[in-house]
Structure 1
């Protein structure tokens, strides 16, 4: 009888456990959309009270505790928390009555149904924090949880639409400074540590939770705390006031534009050496790349604008992304496009000397085209089934094509209606979540145009339009001009857009604007005008697509007097060259001519980049050898002519990019050794360090002496550590370079992704590729691990700095073999491969023809 009772009880227990473990969703690694949707229905009012004990030793474990509380509207299965630390320590979970049994598998901490109740639930969790995305050095650390890396640090509901409040305790060495979303309420000290107890935060998504801790300088001004490690006294003196002032100006503008006061308790910021992004908009504690904030006053206006734009971008996120957050990461582009869009409105009036149509054109359009021309392009809005793929959604399309789209939308709606729509959006969804369709509905109500249909092509479809034209002249006047539009990907899509056309005459330019929304459209606005010397489409830079160019007048593009028209023509020439519509040699000579004549710092920077791309990616080695002396001699001559500092810096960049041999290499050495001082060419310590590394890359006869001397000239301990890290990538011995690259197979050797990308640049430079191609396979073989273990931008940087630098048949064969062997490769990852290797594909197709 005792046996029978025990047997029945055992069966009941097993049945109960089996029933308890049944869920309405599949538990799998990552955060699936299905899981997120389920949790959103039943979980609310979440609060995290986190405690971390941060040791000075960067390899020591980080013990942590979490007091988790939340409401459940119903209990229909176990509670699934997301947790994927890079350690094997199983978390311990407690109720007030004591420890409970939980399951820890597939990157989730699963609390059985029997421990749950409707209403308020509270659990204590003891765990070892993951530090894969807790960027630790000997001197400091910082969290970086976007897009789904909070779960790598602590157990949580890691989805953007389950906002929560946070309370944080940090135990640190005494001399460490700390920064987080709120202000420390108080500190307590022991002989060994200081405990910082932060106040409860505002509502935020888990990816916006952060802290910074370590050895930093600190300054407070205008109620903003600023942590930084910069050591150059001149840079500090000349940068601090602008940094604080730019934050204040951004807040004032955005409060007025959105009609909504600054939405959080405070706004502090930290400048971090070698931060992997320009910045990250953590609530109350923005993190920046230190070199983006600190520089000398003499730097070009564009550098000053870039800093101002970066700060305005991150501050804009406080409203667009932090206050109103996307419901799911398929709409991550939405917060980015508005941060970009609003930053321009904040910053541009403060730089009246800059042409902002030109600035937008040269900073956005080429970067958007760099993705959209590839076989791996994507729509602005992309589907997402699991947050572990969210990092792959970021890229050139959301940061550069989306702002162009948004400008077209503002022109379609009108500025006033557009602003009113955004104010309604902010007010309606403050401290909550919204989708793009929610905003489209608001805009649709304010316009006679069909915004939903317009959005379907611009936002939900990939690729770009390609334009061709037919024209007729009667009595030397335009009698008709038909513009034909088709999708580059072969689809039936058409991109309706406002388009400006410039007719270039000997002594004047005539501009006309039209709205293009048909596959063939006759441009009546041009009829009757005199026959021009050439036509430049998209002459104001607001349009989007591949536009026809006149190959006969391309070489004299530098003579076009209007800056925006000239820049647009250069962009059209580059795109037509890559599309095979005009010869690469013609485009290369066009940009070379531009480098010898251009006086606009924005344009010369762009054409310098295009010149370098065509030279290294679309010329054979023999063609480069033949052309290098002529190009280098002409650039050296212009470098020594009378030019402004900003123009001279761009010419120097173009020269140093090809001065890898002969007389030009010795001229480059003379600059580094300071045997030659070029008037108005201002080079700072980092410039000289980079120059030394280029001389080593170019195998200068004094290779070893240059590197040995260069390290002694670096004043910053952070910069010196980076330099020493990169030395194997600059080695003369291929085996040393090979060993360094192969070491990147191990994740612990890829922790500083910025340094790894730079090392790859040297290892896989065209001058090293005959050796490096033999071990290039790792660039693809390690890719899935790179994606799983790095920040969101690094997979593409990894590819761009390895196989993306090649043009050879061997590299193309390696690529084809990999893609054939991996037919089920993650869609977004395959797209990144196709984006990075687009020039490789195009070059191989060109030489076939």
Structure 2
């Protein structure tokens, strides 16, 4: 080859390089794209202006002005999951872009039109409706975790924070709320214009704006107005709750300022109570959303409902520091903000319930919910991998919200209370208005402790599942034993994985044995085979402890008589896990549970026993056995209601009784209670209680069920609840064809807009009394899961599956799910895990029934 030929080829190659352009990024927001953009973009500001029409079916038009600094002059992509006809105009640094095109959910900002340094981009567009939750008299934007880009062009990733300002034109009778403080309100031709100041720097998933027929109330705190926007149309309910809601909010703010040594980091603080909101709450700074029903409690709430509200308010308030002020770099660490919020909430709320055993409360709040995922073949680690933000919603679940606080409690035990507090204060101060990871936190704490936190962290944070703990005689010494731990599902965790932890074991209520189990097995001197050996789930020990048959039999008879509430609660959890493991006969377990619910006085334990009894009764015994047990079981529980002084305990037992009632006598009694012909001492019924009662009567095919549906509809105080019952009525029909039609209607996304209602509807369709008919829905349910994940909010896939499989206990139901996964070998892993998690009890139920009946 001559040098001229080589030069010619080189010229062609260089010319080709000059005209080659990288393809647009893939759909969603890949981690690769996000990491690169985070190195380029800074000093980001958004100004959003929208026009909200009177008709909720009319589109919302908007203009967004985006200002940012660019480190180097190169092509940048805005995220916008929309169709081309939603993009109306695009201007970059005062230059109009003539060819408007959205490619792979991105808008290209060419390098030729951008500057190194300051840039201004203006986009005129129609907002996507999917994340705007529009109703006739209100709407609210909900963008967590990746839905900001479905409504507004933006850089939709948590580690490019920006200031977010909003201007909205809304119907005249409405008011509005956004992250920043309101600055301008003016009337314009029968409309209202509101403007809100820019927020502090926040991530896109924390943007919030809402408008509707809200009423407003406020209290003062440290010179700020703490506001409440709500649509509660029951003034008695509002007045009964609002003082406590404000008190808990202000107390949480005070506590967090003191604990973090960092003042409240945002300009404004408001609570927005939304009917049937998808989540319990969402921590938008300046506009924290709550499900109205969770904070405005019905009359005579149970102790658990009071606890749930307290924890919810403290949890969302804690997010102002943990999640909003300091944010994870990428959504694979979304658990980090949740573990902080839960951990802080538990501490904040302790003084609010001085008569409560808070160790017991922690145990019952987190261990059962964590085990419900960790015991399954679909268990996921706390720290998960996420290649694309579009799948971020599937990271959420019981492990993030419940295992992570258990792990945080372990960390506190290892590091010490004060060392942990010191490390957290450094973490907050060092990363304020920025982003930080779990490893950043460990680095802050590690310097204050001699323990190797990184080894401990690797097992507890990054390995899935839980250990099975068991003992066996030593092969070397006849008078010694070995305590061992293995992964419950071999192949799920990494080979040779063990979980460093302390194990507490008692051989009576006062003999306390503690073992440091920093290996897969340890040798011990004590004989652990004694029948009264009490293995514990607690704040340092975690996993399934397999009992011997004599031990199971002993504790089925003795647990209810344990005087120590915490020990009793631990054994309640441990026996249930052994029951699900298949080593306790369901008849024996139901006998033990019946004794438990009829003798227990602690409201936390009573609530747990009640849930366990409902599960065992409906899923783990054959139908014929259920019919045999029903009359005596109903009678014993009903008789206990009056024996309790606590209204909360009375209500827990009444709900249990109404749930399991099967005999004609009990169902007739339930109907009389519903219409007020029979009163339950000291119990009054709310709208939600009445809906629950008529649901039970309809599913159990009471002769007057249709008449009772009409009666209840007329009794409901809230228009919102009237609409909810109307939505649910087809699922209460005794006409299978009508229920089929309703289920098919859920194929349309517009019929799933009220996700909480849909989950209630699915539970009705799949009630255990209806599973022979509804089992045929399950294949379609699984087929729709991918769409559910893409179109619904973060908890909807879990709710969609959980409420669909909750009533099923047949091999046929499990085989449908198993065959579905077999037929789809390339099914997305994150969704496969959800299927395995939500079908686990179905598999255990039919396996146990086959074993014992």
TM-score range, shorter chain: over 0.9
- The answer for the alignment partner of 1:677 in structure 2 is 679
Provide the rounded CA distance (Å) in 2 between the counterparts of 1:50 and 1:350: 41
Contact 1:102 1:110 in 2 (8 A): no
Contact 1:796 1:832 in 2 (8 A): yes
- Matches of 2:57 and 2:213 in 1, distance apart? 17
Q: After superposition, what is the alpha-carbon deviation per residue over 1:241-265, rounded to whole angstroms, capped at 9, x for unaligned?
A: 1111111111111111111111111
> 3-state SS of the aligned residue for 2:553?
coil
Paired residues for 1:264-663 under 5 Å: 264-296=266-298, 298-470=300-472, 482-490=482-490, 491-504=495-508, 509-523=510-524, 534-538=532-536, 540-549=538-547, 550-553=551-554, 554-663=556-665
After superposition, the C-alpha distances for 1:122-161 in whole angstroms (9 at most, x for unaligned) are 1110000011011111111111100000001100000000
Query: C-alpha displacement at 1:284, in angstroms?
Result: 1.2
- Contact kept? 2:299, 2:684, Cα under 8 Å: no
- The answer on whether the counterparts of 2:83 and 2:102 sit within 8 Å (CA) in structure 1 is no
CA positional deviation for 1:298: 3.7
TM-score by length of 1: 0.94
Which residue in the other structure is 1:3 paired with? none
Q: Is the alpha carbon distance of 1:297 and 1:799 closer, same or farther for their aligned partners in structure 2, counting shifts above 3 Å?
A: closer
Correspondence 1:703-742 to 2 at 5 A: 703-742=705-744
SS in 1 for 2:278: coil
Alpha-carbon distance, 1:18 to partner: 8.5
1 CA distance for matches of 2:481 and 2:317? 46
Q: Which residue of 2 aligns with 1:81?
A: 78
Quote the residue 1:90 is aligned against. Answer: 87
CA distance in 1, matches of 2:54, 2:607: 43
- Following superposition, the deviation at residue 829 of structure 1 comes to 0.4
Equivalent residues of 1:649, 1:682 under 8 A apart: no
* Aligned partner of 2:760 among 749, 753, 758: 758
Shift of 1:816: 2.2
Partner of 2:777: 775
2:257–2:264 contact (8 Å) kept in structure 1: yes
Please tell me whether the aligned partners of residues 273 and 290 of structure 1 are also in contact (alpha carbons under 8 angstroms).
Answer: yes
| Residue 224 of structure 1: how far off its partner (Å) | 1.0
Structure 2: which 5+ residue stretches go unaligned?
1-11
Partner of 1:69: 67
Structure-2 change in CA distance of 1:170 and 1:111 (3 Å): same
List gaps (5 residues or longer) in structure 1: 1-11, 473-477
Match of 2:836 in 1: 834
For structure 1, which segment, 784-793 or 585-594, has the greater mean C-alpha deviation from structure 2 after superposition? 585-594
For 1:335 and 1:540, the matched residues in 2 are separated by: 23
For each residue in 1:576-597, what CA deviation from the matched residue of structure 2 results, as whole angstroms up to 9, or x when unmatched?
Answer: 1111132233222221210111
Residues 540 and 564 of structure 1 are in contact (CA less than 8 Å); yes or no, is this contact kept in structure 2? no
Question: 2-side partners of 1:502 and 1:86: how far apart?
Answer: 64
| Distance in 2 between residues matched to 1:826 and 1:138, nearest whole Å | 37
Q: Work out the CA distance in 1 between the residues paired with 2:473 and 2:374.
A: 28
Mapped contact 2:326–2:434 kept (Cα < 8 A): yes
Q: In 1, distance between residues paired with 2:538 and 2:742?
A: 47
Correspondent of 2:31 among 25, 29, 33: 33
Deviation, 1:103, is 2.8
What secondary structure is seen at the aligned counterpart in 2 of 1:61?
Answer: coil
Displacement of 1:467 in angstroms is: 1.0
Segment of structure 1 superposing worse, 490-499 or 729-738 = 490-499
Q: What's the offset of the Cα at 1:602?
A: 0.3
Which TM-score applies when normalising by structure 2?
0.93
| Contact 2:507–2:534 (CA under 8 A) maintained in structure 1 | yes
How far, CA to CA, are the matches of 2:311 and 2:121 in structure 1? 43
Cα distance per residue 1:209-264 (max 9 Å; x no partner): 00121011111211111111112222211211111111111111111111111111
Shift of 1:88: 4.2
Q: Separation in 1 of the partners of 2:807 and 2:228?
A: 38
626 and 811 in structure 1: CA distance in 2 versus 1, 3 angstrom threshold? same
Matched, 1:225 2:227: yes
Is residue 235–residue 294 contact of structure 1 (8 Å, CA) maintained in 2?
yes
Q: Is the 8 A contact 1:595 1:607 kept in 2?
A: yes
Give yes or no for contact 1:20–1:113 (8 Å, CA) kept in 2.
no
- Which residue is equivalent to 1:7? none
C-alpha separation between the residues in 2 aligned to 1:501 and 1:438? 35
Kindly tell me: are residues 104 and 538 of structure 1, through their superposed partners in 2, closer, same or farther at Cα, counting changes over 3 Å? same
Asked if 2 retains the 8 angstrom alpha-carbon contact of 1:555 and 1:589, the reply is: no
Matched residue, 1:150: 148
**8 Å contact from structure 1 (residues 20, 112) kept in 2:** no
Per-residue deviation at 1:812? 2.2
Q: Name the SS of the counterpart of 1:509 in structure 2.
A: coil
Shift of the 88–597 alpha-carbon distance from structure 1 to 2, 3 Å rule, reads farther
Once the two structures are superposed, the pairs formed by residues 228-239 of structure 1 within 5 Å of their partners are: 228-239=230-241
CA contact (8 A) 1:264 1:284 kept: yes
1 CA distance for matches of 2:666 and 2:740?
28
Aligned equivalent of 2:179, options 178, 181, 186: 181
**Are the structure 2 counterparts of residues 114 and 16 from structure 1 closer, same or farther at C-alpha, using a change threshold of 3 Å?**
farther
What is the aligned partner in structure 1 of residue 40 from structure 2? 42
| Partners of 2:622 and 2:849 within 8 A in 1 | no
CA–CA separation in structure 2 for the residues paired with 1:233 and 1:510: 54
SS of the residue corresponding to residue 136 of structure 1 reads: coil
Between the aligned partners of 1:172 and 1:405, the Cα distance in structure 2 is 46
Instruction: Check the 8 A contact 1:85/1:154 in 2, yes or no.
Output: no
Shift of 1:727: 0.6
Bigger Cα displacement from structure 2, 677-686 vs 193-202: 677-686
Contact 1:540 1:565 in 2 (8 A): no
Q: Deviations over 1:620-647 (max 9, x none)?
A: 2222122222211211222243442121
360-369 vs 617-626, greater mean Cα deviation: 617-626
Tell me, in whole angstroms, the C-alpha distance in 1 between the residues paired with 2:505 and 2:699. Answer: 45
Q: How does 1:249-260 map to 2 (within 5 A)?
A: 249-260=251-262
Shift of 1:101: 2.9
Q: 1:86 to 1:224 in 2, by over 3 A?
A: farther
Cα distance change of structure 1 residues 234 and 523 upon mapping to structure 2, 3 Å threshold: farther
Cα deviation per residue 1:492-520 (whole Å; 9 max; x = unaligned)? 2211123332332xxx5333433222222
SS in 1 for 2:42: strand
CA contact (8 A) 1:661 1:698 kept: no
Q: Deviations over 1:676-734 (max 9, x none)?
A: 21223343232122211211111100011000111000111111111111111111101
Spell out, residue by residue over 1:638-659, the C-alpha distance to the aligned partner (whole angstroms, 9 max, x if none). 2243442121111112111111
Q: Return the alpha-carbon distance in structure 1 between the equivalents of residues 376 and 662 of structure 2.
A: 30
User: After the TM superposition, which residues 55-66 of structure 1 pair with which residues of structure 2 at under 5 Å, given as runs?
Assistant: 55-66=53-64
Q: How many residues align?
A: 822
Paired residue secondary structure (1:705): helix
> What is the distance in 1 between the residues matched to 2:781 and 2:604?
34
Other structure's SS at 1:303 match: helix
Deviates more, 1:296-305 or 1:134-143: 296-305
